[in-house]
Structures are given as structure tokens and as C-alpha cells.
Copies of this chain bind each other. A is one copy, B any other.
């Protein structure tokens, strides 16, 4: 009864899931870019995933996961986010250095392991990046979060997630002393370049670029 897909297949499934969120479909080129493989390689895998009934796919058309594929994706995401939580909460990793390691741990498939880990961690609902952790049935909590660019001036809010796990982003955030849970408010918006001036309690105001603001998601308080 254990899933039994290769790590490679799992990586494709996960990538398709993320690209098709919330309800769209995905193209060969998008997936090829995300996984850093050539389009020809992607095509081969699409045929394999279709044969395993995980994917709705017809040649030259856009594609999306089947319900079974989506279920598999959620179990992989569950494993990934539980391990991230473990690494930060128990092993004292920085929240910006867990992604690569979790990327490996997520492919250990034992359901018993994952469920016991979940229990050991106290059934956490969100990972250290603020992303929801699916439970053993694939259900996730939804956070009402908005992009920092949509936060009104002077409205207190708390950072709940970041738009990607790119190292460059995480490095910049740590440099600016911004992390999940940081409470902040916007003091000023600059129309010229879209940059905004943030105020975090006890810290000097910082100016962040529009790109960075777009990668931050907050919950108004």
C-alpha cells in the first residue's frame, strides 16, 4: 500500500501541482523551465505519468494532474513540509536553509514514518515558511493572506509566507531581519519604483523593492 513512485516522478508531480495552482493547467515549457530539464525529457515523463493515470494529457495540449495525481502531490507536499518543520523546530536549522534537505527527505515514502513524525511534531498546521501542511487525508488549512503589495498603509500585519524558497530571496530576507511571524506595517509607498518603506517594531525603517514586496505574504492584524 506504499505509493511507490521514483523520486524523479515525484518531483515532476510536485512541480506540476505547484504550476497548476489554483486551477489552471501547465505547459511543457513551463515544466521544463521549473525542473531545469529539456522539453523533450518532459514529454517522455508526461507520457509515463499519463500511463500511470496521474495526469490528463494529450499531445500538444496543456495538461493537469488527475484527481489521483493531485492526491499523490499532496502526500509529497505533506512530507516536505513536515520535514521542514522538524528541521527548524527540533534540529535548530535556520528557516532559510531547510529547503534543500527537505527536498531529499520528502522522498522517503513510509506512511508510518510520516504519520508518526506528524504526531511527534504535534500535528503542525503550517511549515516554517507559512505554507499549510496537508493532513494524512490531504486536507490543508487555508490562510487568508494577502500580498504585501496589497496591504494598506499603516495597517499592522504579520508575515505568514514567502513566494518562493530561492536562496537569493531567503538570504535577502535574513539580511533585512524579516522572517515568518515578523510583525510590520507599511509607512510609505513610492510610486516611482513600487518600493515600500516598512517599519518593524524596535528596528529602523527599511526600504524594500517592489520585487521583494511581491514575494511577501502577510495576514492583516
Q: A91-B120, A120-B90, A120-B91 are in contact. Are A108 and B101 (CB under 8 A)?
A: yes
* Chain B proximity mask over A93-114: 1 for CB below 8 Å, otherwise 0: 1000000110011001110110
Measured CA separation A117–B105 after assembly (Å): 13
Instruction: Report the nearest B residue to A100, measured CB to CB.
Output: B110
Q: How many copies of this chain?
A: 2
Chain B residue numbers with a CB within 8 Å of A112 are: 93, 101
* A113: contacting residue among B101, B116, B117, CB under 8 A: B101
Q: Contact between A110 and B101 (Cβ–Cβ < 8 Å)?
A: yes
Instruction: Report the nearest B residue to A92, measured CB to CB.
Output: B116
* A108: contacting residue among B90, B105, B109, B117, CB under 8 A: B105
Measured CA separation A109–B100 after assembly (Å): 11
Chain B residue numbers with a CB within 8 Å of A105 are: 105, 108
A10 smallest CB distance to B (angstroms): 13
Q: Contact between B108 and A93 (Cβ–Cβ < 8 Å)?
A: no
Measured CA separation A119–B93 after assembly (Å): 12
Chain B residue numbers with a CB within 8 Å of A92 are: 116, 120
Q: Contact between A91 and B104 (Cβ–Cβ < 8 Å)?
A: no
A81 smallest CB distance to B (angstroms): 17
Q: Contact between A110 and B104 (Cβ–Cβ < 8 Å)?
A: yes
Measured CA separation A47–B125 after assembly (Å): 49
Chain B residue numbers with a CB within 8 Å of A110 are: 100-101, 104
Chain B residue numbers with a CB within 8 Å of A87 are: 113
Instruction: Report the nearest B residue to A91, measured CB to CB.
Output: B116
- Give the B-binding residues of A (Cβ under 8 A): 87, 90-93, 100-101, 104-105, 108-110, 112-113, 116-117, 119-120
Between-chain CB contacts (< 8 Å), 11 pairs: A87-B113, A90-B120, A91-B117, A91-B120, A92-B120, A93-B112, A101-B112, A101-B113, A104-B108, A105-B105, A105-B108
